[in-house]
Amino acid sequence: MSALHDVAFSTQTESDTTAACDCMWEGRACIAIFIRNSLHLQPGHQNTRRQIAGCPTQAAFRDGDGWQARFNSVTDMTFVPLRNALLVCDSGNHRVRMVGLASPYTVSTISGFGKMGNYVDGSIRLAQFAMPHSLCASADGLDIYVTDYNNNAVRKIDTRNGTVETILGGKNRTPSLTRYLGTEDNKKHAVMSRPTGIKMEANNRFLLIVNSGANSILRLELRHSLGKTQGRWLRALACDALNMPFSLKTSIQVTPSGRLVVWRQRSFRDPSTMSLYNPSSGRILYQRNFDFTAAAFFLGVDPNRPGSLCYALRKMGDSQHNLVKISFTLGWDVMRLLLVATLKPASHKKSTAKTFARLPMSLLQVICAFVGDPFGAGGNTFRCA
């Protein structure tokens, strides 16, 4: 499949980009970008940006309006439409914070006490994290799920009840609270170790977590009862060798059609691999290689041409990244072949030769949709088994 695409790259930001996501701002589709501890908004398909919060030359902590606020090593953020705000993992300050996207762009702390290496559940005001790395939220933004990197835990912030609880991993956790449903061969990959990326499936039932220390991705089913998150069923997928002396750099994204895109570094020398998974079965549906590693990425749609659009934080060194736009489009040569095959008369009845002319037009449209948009970024035009 990968040979059927034209791939175009364009650089969007400088090398000190630390986090990025898509959002809406003043009624327009935008990209939110953190560059050197300052938050910028860039309208989609434009190269101009506006700084709205933080200071590029100062790593510190301060809540407040816009440029008065301070951040320290932001590693991830996500947009919550119902709040018209960005939720931010301020890793260096050990806090989860929120930035309103209406002037004066107020920055506030949701949870986190700011002390390194501490681990406290309970009240949202007193809870403590140790380098929170990534986050996602329910559709209403009231439940926030955070990977607590240095505490080897996945934490849930319940803003409705003002509480923080650990739902996977962490210290003194009872293993029986999580039921493992995967294969025995993959069970060792389900031990929580240095979690990084986290995403929620569209149905709000499942979490997908990059378990970087075990080179795997975990899928958790969330069940809520009496104000607690219970009945978590666990499956490990996209597992890689555990005898490697380092954690494979892995980023994930969930497509609108419910599939999982995994971008993983294969080794220090080999190219990285972008793969499309069925998260229910762990089956690989599509794969292609790239000559760089993505620290993070998100999917989009290019209104000017058919195909998939992906924004990726390209890893350039130990800690330097820039944002690149990658367009996957269906090449004209493939479109021509499909068109000719559609118009070509069927072969002789006794012939066993395969031809597209024997396929119904509806199936050809599905094939074109998959080839031109393999990650389902344009909608639910095709569902893999």
Q: In this structure, are residues 192 and 154 in contact, taking their beta carbons and an 8 Å threshold? A: yes
The pLDDT of residue 256 is above 60:
yes
Token couple for 227: 């104000």
How many residues are present in the chain?
Answer: 385
More confident residue, 328 or 77: 77
Own/partner contacts of 178-184, CB < 8 Å, gap of 24 or more, are 178/220, 178/232, 178/233, 178/234, 179/231, 179/232, 179/233, 179/234, 180/233, 180/234, 180/235, 181/233, 181/234, 181/235, 182/234, 182/235, 182/236, 182/237, 182/282
- 247/115 Cα distance (integer angstroms): 26
Query: What's the pLDDT tens digit per position in 262-288?
Result: 999 877 677 789 888 989 888 888 788
Using 50, 70 and 90 to split pLDDT, how confident is the model at 114?
Answer: confident
- The average pLDDT across 130-134 equals 95
The pLDDT of residue 65 is above 70:
yes
Angle at 325 between CA 15 and CA 107, to 5 degrees: 60
Helix (H, G, I), strand (E, B) or coil at 126: coil
Please classify residue 304 by burial: count the beta carbons closer than 10 Å to its beta carbon, then call 0-12 exposed, 13-18 middle and 19+ buried: exposed
CATH T-level assignment (fold) for domain 7-333: Methylamine Dehydrogenase; Chain H (2.130.10)
Domain ranges of the chain: 7-333, 334-385
The pLDDT of residue 5 is above 60:
no
The pLDDT of residue 187 is above 50:
yes
Closest by alpha carbon to 315, among 347, 286, 339, 292? 292
The pLDDT of residue 338 is above 80:
no
Token couple for 91: 């890793």
* Adjacent-strand bridge partners of 11: 324
Closest by alpha carbon to 19, among 356, 316, 258, 311? 311
Query: What's the pLDDT tens digit per position in 218-234?
Result: 999 988 766 666 668 89
The pLDDT of residue 193 is above 50:
yes
- Enumerate residues 6+ apart whose C-beta is below 8 A from 192: 152, 153, 154, 168, 169, 170, 211, 213, 214, 218
pLDDT at 383: 29
